Amino acid sequence: MVSVGPSLLLTSSVDITPMMTVLDGVLMELQDCALPLLKDVIATDKEEVAFKDLDVAVLVGSMPRREGMERKDLLKANVKIFKSQGAALDKYAKKSVKVIVVGNPANTNCLTASKSAPSIPKENFSCLTRLDHNRAKSQIALKLGVTADDVKNVIIWGNHSSTQYPDVNHAKVKLHGKEVGVYEALKDDSWLKGDFITTVQQRGAAVIKARKLSSAMSAAKAIADHIRNIWFGTPEGEFVSMGVISDGNSYGIPDDLLYSFPVVIKNKTWKFVEGLPINDFSREKMDLTAKELAEEKETAFEFLSSA
């Protein structure tokens, strides 16, 4: 949670009461970083303290899926969490607050929080698909022997789940001082339509299998990238991926889904990148992940209406 002054940051961190000792450890680490813009950190288990007058809220905590847990049980548990946090934002935060949801299932949790904060514009809510976006850039860069900064305009469509669609049909890469399309640069359609997609879709699971823990540093970097673009905008000629509310008019995605789109940002306001041609392969992938999100929404809203 961040309040932004003229040149300094005041942050607050909220957690459940049993985790306060751990949160105190996080506070000490932040202090020990000696960050030049950080003025103070407030560790609290009180929503009225943590959410008061926020400029930016990063909702990281969620109920993780446990062995034997059905997806509907996961959605039910998270509806309760994000309904409460949305209501707290509605009550205590600035109406201009930018809310970024990280805790999974991030898209549907974000939609739940937005619906629970009716006085805050729904466009102020977004969920993190930047980690997937960065993973896609990295895979292309590794394949071509360039740096990730040489790759731009990849797209993550849809859900932050294994149905997401990493799309490089419109991506560019800088090779020998010249920008070329990724398909043209790689000349390997089978990899781009096969292993590349599955690698990005399953990267989170692969990290957990390897280190027995979820992504940490890469997730933190993606959150920072996401917030920086919201606050300072996207570079000219570049777009990024964010889970945002659909309007029913962009790329055939049904209205009122929290779906990852390509966006550009200026003056802290995002806009869809419009007019990108969508081929049949992409259309099928985009519709598949939209279907999953529609099903998640239906289940979550059953719990939301009865909560």
Rounded Cα distance, 18 and 41, in Å: 19
135 has binding-site annotation:
yes
In which element (H, E) is residue 39 found?
Answer: strand 38-44
203 has binding-site annotation:
no
Decide: 57 and 76 in contact? Cβ < 8 Å. no
User: 133, 160, 170, 226: which one is catalytic?
Assistant: 160
Q: How many residues does the chain have?
A: 307
Helical segments of 116-176, H only: 130-144
Q: Which residue has the tokens 């062995």?
A: 67
229 has binding-site annotation:
no
Q: Which residue has the tokens 């390897």?
A: 210
- For 119, 222, 303, the CA distances from 74, given in Å and listed in that order, are 27, 24, 11
124 has binding-site annotation:
no
Beta strands in 206-299 (DSSP E): 240-245, 258-266, 269-272
- For 6, 36, 77, the CA distances from 9, given in Å and listed in that order, are 9, 9, 32
Other beta carbons within 10 Å of 19: 13
Rounded Cα distance, 20 and 26, in Å: 10
103 has binding-site annotation:
yes
Can 176 be counted among the known catalytic residues? no
Please, what is the angle between helix 130-144 and helix 217-232, to 10°?
A: 110
102 has binding-site annotation:
yes
Handedness of CA 266, 271, 276, 281 (dihedral sign): positive
DSSP 52-92: TT-SEEEE---PPP-TT--HHHHHHHHHHHHHHHHHHHHHH
78 has binding-site annotation:
yes
Residues in binding site: 15, 65, 71, 78, 102-104, 135
Annotated binding site for substrate: 65, 71, 104, 135
Which residues line the annotated binding site for NAD(+)? 15, 78, 102-104
Task: List the catalytic residues.
Answer: 160
